[in-house]
């Protein structure tokens, strides 16, 4: 059985525009064409699209997905087994977080009592330690300084800082259709840079490292994708422009 672009888009829950784009960049060209100009996709194409969507779910960019799919000897079954393992790990953590949310709601409604430790179940200290170790390997003393400064803030100051950071990301999401180099976008990136100073004084190397981490690290990318899937790659472009201007001055 073969599918038109519209049929496959409806089947997979993606837009026709997305399939056209995948065709343009060579990620998923249709296997068949016709004299009337219609594109047709076969079963092999459907499996490739499934792989693309799985890898996107795991935080890979389209260029990275293309490189994986084009590897010699790419094995769909092996890839699916890896996807299943990664999704199982994520599902387990999400289940723990959902249980924590449910218990917290019950606690706030007065239905049950929950101690302070219970409020943070599902937020793995082991994972946090691993993320911190990875960050220290990249930026060393900057991360340790960040931890010290954050612990020194009052609860009210922490709430203010978090609100300012949230506003920066919300404003960037509103500007996703603007050029990353535009003055209005660069002004918000300037606010993001200033916001980082609550934690440490970042060099342009650190700014670029964060930008790459937002897009390429599965853990960072998952957080940003919850806000808006286009935000991380957009920020990387905008931050690169911003750093270039800083270095030119």
pLDDT, greater one: 37 or 206: 206
pLDDT at residue 83 greater than cutoff 80? no
Q: State the CATH architecture for 3-69.
A: Orthogonal Bundle (1.10)
Split at pLDDT 50, 70, 90, the class of 130 is very low
Which string of DSSP letters, residue by residue, matches 52-113? HHHHHHTT--HHHHHHHHTSTT--HHHHHHHHHHHHHHHHHHHHHHHHHHHHHHHHHTTSS-
- Say what the pLDDT of residue 133 is: 45
pLDDT, greater one: 86 or 244: 244
d(CA 156, CA 114): 23
pLDDT at residue 116 greater than cutoff 80? no
- Say what the pLDDT of residue 201 is: 78
- Judge contact between 2 and 41, C-beta under 8 A: yes
Burial 186-199 (b: 16+ CB within 10 A, else e): bebbeebbeebebb
Tell me the pLDDT tens digit for each residue of 9-34.
Answer: 898 888 999 999 999 999 998 876 65
SS3 156: helix
Mean pLDDT of 115-127: 45
- Say what the pLDDT of residue 202 is: 78
Tell me which of 91-95, 175-179, 195-199, 227-231 is least confident: 91-95
223, with CB counted inside 10 A (0-12, 13-18, 19+), is: middle
- Say what the pLDDT of residue 122 is: 44
pLDDT, greater one: 180 or 110: 180
- Say what the pLDDT of residue 115 is: 52
Split at pLDDT 50, 70, 90, the class of 126 is very low
- Say what the pLDDT of residue 186 is: 92
Tell me the pLDDT tens digit for each residue of 132-173.
Answer: 444 444 445 555 566 677 778 887 888 888 888 888 888 999
User: Where are the domains positioned within the chain?
Assistant: 3-69, 78-123, 139-248
pLDDT at residue 131 greater than cutoff 60? no
Tell me the pLDDT tens digit for each residue of 37-79.
Answer: 677 888 888 888 988 888 887 667 788 788 888 877 778 778 7
Tell me the pLDDT tens digit for each residue of 207-224.
Answer: 888 888 777 777 677 778
Write down the residue that tokens 């059985």 correspond to: 1
Q: What is the CATH number of domain 139-248?
A: 1.10.490.50
């Amino acid at each position: 059985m073969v599918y038109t672009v519209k049929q496959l888009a409806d089947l997979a829950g993606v837009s026709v525009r997305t399939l056209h784009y995948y065709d343009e960049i060579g990620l998923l060209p249709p296997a068949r064409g016709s004299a009337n100009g219609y594109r047709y996709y076969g079963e092999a194409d459907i499996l490739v699209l499934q792989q693309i969507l799985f890898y996107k779910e795991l935080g890979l960019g389209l260029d990275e997905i293309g490189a994986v799919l084009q590897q010699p000897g790419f094995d769909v079954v092996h890839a699916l087994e890896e996807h299943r393992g990664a999704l199982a790990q994520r599902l387990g953590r999400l289940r723990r977080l959902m249980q924590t949310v449910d218990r917290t709601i019950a606690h706030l409604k007065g239905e049950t009592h929950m101690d302070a430790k219970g409020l943070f179940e599902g937020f793995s200290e082991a994972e946090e330690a691993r993320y911190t170790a990875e960050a220290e390997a990249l930026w060393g003393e900057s991360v340790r300084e960040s931890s010290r400064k954050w612990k020194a803030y009052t609860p009210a100051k922490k709430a203010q800082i978090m609100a300012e950071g949230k506003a920066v990301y919300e404003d960037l999401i509103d500007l996703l259709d603007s050029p990353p180099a535009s003055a209005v976008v660069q002004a918000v990136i300037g606010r993001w840079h200033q916001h980082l100073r609550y934690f440490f004084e970042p060099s342009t190397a650190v700014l670029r490292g964060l930008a790459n981490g937002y897009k390429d690290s599965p853990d960072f990318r998952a957080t940003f994708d919850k806000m808006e899937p286009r935000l991380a790659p957009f920020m990387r472009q905008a931050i690169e422009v911003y750093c270039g201007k800083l270095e030119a001055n």
